Amino acid sequence: MHGGSRSLLELVIVGLLSGSLGAVVTALLRIRADREEQIRERMIVAADELVTGFVQTFISIRRFINAHNEGDGDAALQEIREMRRLTDEVVARLARVELLFGRGKPASSEASRMVARLSHGLLEAEDYPNSDMVTVREAFAEAADHQGRFVHYAYEAVTKRRLRGSEPDAADPMTAV
């Protein structure tokens, strides 16, 4: 009888330990999935803020070019000041994109190229009225092309994270538990 009691006690202990271990594993997997979702959300917000800033800058660029074409130097100079302010905001947002998407990754690389071409166009525009408007237009058109590629790669990166779910990725230190 004593041997049977001990066996029952062992079964109870093993059952409790198994249940506890299962709960711990489940909790760790849930934590990992929650962290993955938080990172994904941060990536979406960072990409959205960068693109929104770029679009706001591009509106000012268009107004600058229109003012130049209409011969309105005062309006052109006012738009250059606005372009500088907005470009500075876009430059500041780039660091967050690089952090979240990974420096050197396709999305971050395109974002960096976009900002570089935007800055190049702005530097040329700031020489107004002696700006080379062809260079200004080309730089801003190239920035727009890079912005489109950034959106493509950012979408791929965010979608890949969602599809991957909570699977660990040894190359991704942001999700290591």
pLDDT score recorded for residue 140: 97
pLDDT band at 173, cuts 50/70/90? very low
Rounded Cα distance, 159 and 152, in Å: 11
pLDDT score recorded for residue 27: 76
- pLDDT tens per residue across span 75-110: 999 999 999 999 999 999 999 999 999 999 999 999
* Helix 2-69 vs helix 73-101: crossing angle, to nearest 10: 160
C-alpha neighbours within 13 Å on the C-beta side of residue 46: 26
How is residue 132 annotated by DSSP?
-
Q: 41-165 — its CATH code?
A: 1.20.1440
- pLDDT tens per residue across span 120-143: 999 999 999 999 999 999 999 999
- pLDDT tens per residue across span 137-154: 999 999 999 999 999 999
Q: Kindly report which listed range (25-29, 57-61, 69-73, 155-159) carries the lowest average pLDDT score.
A: 25-29
- pLDDT tens per residue across span 27-40: 788 888 889 999 99
Rounded Cα distance, 39 and 144, in Å: 26
Domain boundaries, the chain: 41-165
User: pTM of the prediction?
Assistant: 0.78
